[in-house]
Amino acid sequence: MGLLDGKVAIITGAGGGLGEAYATLFAKEGAAVVVNDLGSSVDGAGASGAAEKVVAKIISDGGRAVANGDDVSTVAGGENILKTAIDAFGQVDILICNAGILRDRTFAKTSEKDWDLVVKVHLKGTYCCSLPVWNWLKENRRPGVIIMTSSTSGLFGNFGQANYGAAKAGIYGLVRVLSIEGRKYGIRVMGVAPNAVTRMWADVPGTKDSESYPILRPENVASGVLFMASELAADHSGKVLAVSGEEIAEVRMLMTDGFHPKGHYTAQDVAARASSVFFPADLKRVPSMD
């Protein structure tokens, strides 16, 4: 018995890296998988048959899968991805929004094109894929799971990734809102901030490669995402997990006890009570790529 027996999962950006690791593990755990991938390079250009290769591997291993090459960043693309699942398997139970690109620049050098494309693929793409699945689950009164991919670059910040970080922080907000709206429909929404060495990180200075640092292989994230997609995580809607072979930990937005002036106060009053307003410096734990 697999953790996902009888389930149908859509995984975007599954032609390689993390998405491929999710797809192959989910298939081994009993899910039928829609492997979506536009086949583009890390910066969003070009195309290949990446999805078909992953599907062929899953089928050769005895699993069920079908390829889809639609663009996640368009409404029509999101609808067609859902249609692929319904046509092939008759249902959908799990959506993993994983597709993404990078256009890393310092903020001063980030062009409007680089900003718009990264936000479109990550943030709008999550909307475009989630909305049709959400509505299908709601209209068919089926419980389901949507897992959206955030990042420590958005949750904590990372040099040279203003466009990517902004999009990933927006996804955090979407997870929180949809987890509230999904309660009455049995739709569970979670976020994952994965840390793995994939082709997206190949050009990031100081990043270790997966051969010399195997703990950060995509397979070591996949088991955490499998947990999130399965009934083992049934009580954890709305939560975001940082997942890697090094660590699995919840990431959340918190507030200090704060300063409560009960009306008028001055800027000097805030400064005088800084110890109540701000977290102690030693509590600020920011993951790094090292």
To 10 degrees, the CA torsion angle through 219, 223, 226, 232?
180
Which candidate, 208, 16, 8, 32, places its Cα nearest to that of 100?
16
Q: How far apart are CA 169 and CA 90, in angstroms?
A: 33
Structure-token pair, residue 280? 């102690």
Q: How far is CA 95 from the centre of its chain?
A: 10
Residue 164 annotated as catalytic: yes
| Residue 30 CB coordination number (10 Å) | 15
Structure-token pair, residue 115? 């900003």
Q: How far apart are CA 285 and CA 289, in angstroms?
A: 13
Q: How far is CA 131 from the centre of its chain?
A: 15
Cα–Cα distances in Å, from 261 out to 257, 264, 267, 278? 12, 7, 11, 15
| The residue type at 184 | K
Which candidate, 155, 168, 247, 223, places its Cα nearest to that of 200?
168
- Reduced to 3 states (helix: H, G, I; strand: E, B; else coil), residue 234 is coil
- Reduced to 3 states (helix: H, G, I; strand: E, B; else coil), residue 28 is helix
Residue pair 208/197 in contact by the 8 Å Cβ criterion:
yes
* Catalytic hit among 22, 127, 164, 172: 164
**Active site (catalytic) residues:** 164
